Amino acid sequence: MGLTHEGAARRLQDFGLNLVARERKPTILQEVWGRARNPLNALLLTLAAVSYFIGDMRAAIVIVLMVLLAVGTAFVQEHRSNEAAARLRAMVKTTASVKRRPAAGDGEFAEVPIESLVPGDIVKLSAGDMIPADLRLLEAKDLFINQSVLTGEAMPAEKFCHPHQQEIKDPFDLPNMCFMGANVVSGFATGIVVRTGAHTFLDSLPMKSRDGGYPRPSIRASIVSPG
């Protein structure tokens, strides 16, 4: 059970890296504008303009310098913190316990970077793990998942590996499905990856529809044909 290394490599080429869309890094001008766009700054610049037109040049210059100093200081601090955060993210490598096997024989679970996961991979979950992709449970024991990032619900949801045939309105109510972005509170489980990267439900969250609902991916089709 589990994909071969060669099969996983082929699927990685077909489906791409298991990465969700991220916000684009703001440019320096956007960062400066974000610091300058402040009601207090607008008020101070208005006072500087009034001081200039009434002939108080010294007050106008002092006020403008105060605004420039405040904006410059805030920009430098935010830019440095953003760069430091980016360096930390580059250093942190998140992995998942995945079962890969050679061309012949059974495979063993090993730590694999989550961006390398592909549909059909067998993933092992335990307490504290992040759900690395959208997956269907094959085995589960006392499994509770925190889905607050996806649903806003604070209470963990219990998940099972039993097939679910009833119609549901919300995919998060499926008891045998775990979605990328959630995390394991307690218990153990094994699941098969059905969606990765841009195809996951987490990636569709920014596309929230106007009526307050979210796009519903075809869960049944993904389970039947993960490849």
> pLDDT digit string (tens) for 39-63?
898 999 999 999 989 989 999 999 9
Reported as type and span, the H/E element at residue 99 is: strand 95-101
Checking if the pLDDT of 221 tops 50, the result is no
Judge whether 193 and 121 are in contact, CB under 8 Å. yes
> pLDDT digit string (tens) for 166-184?
777 788 888 899 999 899 9
Judged by phi (left if over 0) then psi (alpha if -120 to 50, else beta), residue 162 lies in: beta
Helix (H, G, I), strand (E, B) or coil at 180: coil
Reported as type and span, the H/E element at residue 2 is: none
pTM of the model: 0.63
Judge whether 157 and 176 are in contact, CB under 8 Å. no
| Arithmetic mean of pLDDT, 111-127 | 92
